[in-house]
Amino acid sequence: MLRRLRLAVLAASVIAASSGCVSTHGGDHASGTGAAPAASTPPPPSRSASPASTGCTVAGRLATWSLKRRAAQLVVVPVQENDVLAAKTMVARGAGGIILFGSDAPPALPADLAALQRSAPRGLPALVMTDEEGGGVQRLANLAGNLPWPRTMAATLTVAQTRALAERVARGLRAAGVTMDLAPVLDLSDGPGPDAAHPDGARSFSINPPVATAYGLAFAQGMLQGGVIPVVKHFPGLGQASYNSDFGPSSVPSLPVLKAAALRPFDTAITAGVPAVMVGNVSVPGLTGGLPASLSTAAITGLLRDQLGFRGLVLTDSLSALAVKDAGYGVPRAAARAIGAGADMVMFDSSDPGATADAIIARIAAAVRSHRLPVSRLDDAVQHVLAAKHISLCP
């Protein structure tokens, strides 16, 4: 319980750094001049009337937003770190986040990200995400500091040293303008990779659940202490996947087998209060009906939300993965399906010719208009995104 409270408090302090009052005008292309504040002490609570006394409700405020504006909050726009202003138009339209790609961040990145945030609707900054796992999966090592592969961390560092290292890198990320790290990996693996056949390899801290859990939580705590929101991945665990889902269909063992080992680090992390979880693109026999977990109501709502009790932000892995395409889903359709299944934010690759943020937003909005996606689910997802940013619609 103490660890859970500590993570919850840390998460609140991190996301408070990018909090603000939200403009409630409902246009599809709402914009403003408010930039995401730098990490600092949050302002004191307002002495104005409470939401109850003013009649403000989140549902009422969201009802003033167009469907496209709400859908935009659920989209993570991919962008090269040497050209982040390419995402300016989508951020101005209210995109919920961007994800940085590249491996040699330019010195101008902090200034470019600050300029990008100034294009966001007033009080509604985009989450700025990166994959800073360690080893060969790092985007800003030249600006924020280097991390060893997770497997190396677990073999050569103590848990306390791992936490301190993650905190130091997180401070560098935050100084650059990054607010969310798509790490740590909680998958269990001691095999080769990462490569086309093996999704994890050295990205995994350990095949041993207690070791992977201890080091993964230490990494997450360090990120939070350094001002960056961690995202544990790849639920329900890719360590024993039959293939790398980026390159084709992939499955993992059945749910009873997963519960015996692979799900244990996620279960513990959820109990500890981790703020965000990424769902992978593997199928689970007997649970997902042949679909990738990222598109499965049984996996996201049934297992992650209802059984494990997770109440934070749920992100998908890239819906441009060939495992998703093999299931018969282009990215826009997959995005609408994922939101309906219980995800809150969707990701895709910029190299995918069939995927654009505009197409995804339009597909989600159309699914709501046709009643294939309940508006309550859309609004629930938006509320999870705003909560991750520590933004209240009823200040």
Burial of 291 (0-12, 13-18, 19+ CB in 10 A): buried
pLDDT of 39 over the 50 cut: no
**The two structure tokens encoding residue 37:** 């504040």
Task: Give the pLDDT confidence score for residue 53 in this predicted structure.
Answer: 54
What distance in Å separates the CA atoms of residue 19 and residue 191, rounded to the nearest whole number? 42
Joined tokens for residue 201 = 């390899």
**How confident is the model over 162-174, as pLDDT tens digits?**
999 999 999 999 9
Other C-beta atoms lying within 10 Å of the C-beta of residue 210? 11
What is the average pLDDT across 388-392?
Answer: 93
C-alpha closest to that of 129 among 95, 92, 100, 89: 100
**pLDDT, the chain, mean:** 89
Q: For position 127, what pLDDT does the model report?
A: 98
Question: Cα separation of 143 and 103, whole Å?
Answer: 10
Q: What is the pLDDT of residue 54?
A: 61
Contact between residue 132 and residue 143 where contact means Cβ atoms under 8 Å apart: no
Burial 29-57 (b: 16+ CB within 10 A, else e): ebbeebbbbebeeeeeeeeeeebeeeebe
* Alpha-carbon separation of residue 84 from 1, 26, 95 (angstroms): 40, 26, 14
- CA 216 to CA 154: how far, in whole Å? 9
Give the number of residues written for the chain.
395
Whether the bond between 234 and the residue before it is cis, its omega within 30 degrees of 0, is yes
Mean pLDDT, rounded, for 223-237: 98
Instruction: Write out the DSSP string of 89-142.
Output: HHHHTT-SEEEEE-SS--TTHHHHHHHHHHTSPTT-PPEEEE---BTTB-SSHH
The neighbouring-strand residues paired with 316 are: 279
- Residues β-bridged to residue 346: 75
- Rounded CA-CA distance 333/322 in Å is 14
Instruction: Please give the model's pTM, rounded to 2 decimal places.
Output: 0.89
> What per-residue confidence (pLDDT) applies to 366?
98
Q: Note the pLDDT tens digit of each residue in 242-264.
A: 999 999 999 999 999 999 999 99
What local confidence, expressed as pLDDT, does residue 353 receive? 79
Check pLDDT > 90 for residue 52.
Answer: no
Q: Given the structure tokens 């494990």, which residue do they identify?
A: 308
Q: Give the pair of three-digit tokens for residue 358.
A: 């505009």
Q: Which of 221, 140, 133 is nearest to 182 (CA)?
A: 133
Q: How far apart are alpha carbons 175 and 249 in whole angstroms?
A: 39
Domain limits, the chain: 2-14+66-388
CB 228 within 8 A of CB 177: no
pLDDT for 7: 60
Q: Is the pLDDT of residue 294 over 80?
A: yes
CATH code of domain 2-14+66-388 = 3.20.20.300
pLDDT in tens, 75-97: 999 999 999 999 999 999 999 99
Kindly state the average pLDDT of the residues 153-179.
Answer: 98
pLDDT at position 11 is: 44
Residue 99's DSSP bridge partners are 78, 129
Angstrom distance (rounded) from CA 140 to CA 30: 31
> What gap in Å lies between CA 91 and CA 122, rounded to an integer?
11
CB 367 within 8 A of CB 336: yes
Q: How many CA atoms lie within 13 A of 58 on its CB side?
A: 13
Q: Which residues is 318 bridged to in the sheet?
A: 347
Alpha carbons 257 and 91: distance in angstroms, whole number: 42
CA distance 232 to 215: 12
